[in-house]
Amino acid sequence: MKALALSFATLLLTSTVIAQTPQSVAGHYVLENTREVGSELLLKPDGQFEYMLAYGAADYVATGKWRIANNTVILDAKVPEGPPFRLVSSSQKKSPVIRVWIKGKTGTPVPNLDVVLTTSTGEQTARTDQDGAAVFPVEGKPKSARIQIRVYQVDAGPYSLNPEHNDFTFEINGEVIMTVPFRNEPLKIKADTLEMLYWDKTRPMVYRKQQEN
């Protein structure tokens, strides 16, 4: 009799796992019980997903495909190509300083980024102003530059510079910086919640499915 009861319980458990389908799991999930972090995950019935996470001044996003395997949601993000920054122009201008400009793809200036300039005499650090320019006194010839975004923990470069120039413009690739590169990322399905370990392997972030109105 015990063996029969055990077999029946095992059958119920197996049936629960099998019952998880894209149609039953698809929906809008919101992160819960995590201070100072806002995050949402949308699993679409067509196998596409949208993800966002906001923490302080940093905003992260991801889109791509999802599937179910072994009672787990698997995320695969579409990751943009290219480096976070690229040098788009370099010239010598009549100026008593060295300028490193950071701009968006439309030419919009990007303030509050740290630029570490290496010259023939050493290293200097300056932050881009409202015009997107980091200004350095001329102390030796420029050799390379690194660009740092503290809120995203990005330290890009070094990018080689023409030592005979004093004016450099970089273009930022915001999509690369903000996109979360999910690759076969598993989220454990537990009732109406999903558990993510991407950001902290020791503490799952719990996303609860929202009820449709």
Question: Looking at residue 213, what is its pLDDT?
Answer: 67
pTM for the model: 0.79
Question: Looking at residue 21, what is its pLDDT?
Answer: 85
Question: Looking at residue 17, what is its pLDDT?
Answer: 45
For 91-123, how does the pLDDT look when each residue is reduced to its tens digit (9 = 90+)? 999 999 999 999 999 999 999 999 999 999 999
Question: Looking at residue 165, what is its pLDDT?
Answer: 97
How many other C-beta atoms can be found within 10 angstroms of the C-beta atom of residue 130?
Answer: 9
Question: Looking at residue 35, what is its pLDDT?
Answer: 85
Gap between the Cα atoms of 26 and 11, Å rounded: 25
- H/E element holding 43? strand 37-43
Short-list 160, 157, 137, CA closest to 149: 157
Domain pair 2-79+179-209 / 85-177, same fold: no
Domains in the chain: boundaries: 2-79+179-209, 85-177
Q: Could you say which residues of the chain have pLDDT below 50?
A: 1-2, 4, 6, 8-9, 11-17
Contacts with 103 (C-beta within 8 Å, 6 or more apart), sequence order = 109, 110, 132, 169, 170, 171, 172
Print burial letters for 20-37: b (CB count within 10 Å at least 16), e (below 16): eeeeebbbbbebeebeee
Question: Looking at residue 12, what is its pLDDT?
Answer: 44
User: Is residue 76 a contact partner of residue 187, using CB atoms and an 8 Å limit?
Assistant: no
> For residue 128, which phi and psi values (nearest 5 degrees)?
-65, 140
Question: Looking at residue 22, what is its pLDDT?
Answer: 85
Fold of 2-79+179-209: Lipocalin (2.40.128)
Superfamily for domain range 85-177? Immunoglobulins (2.60.40.10)
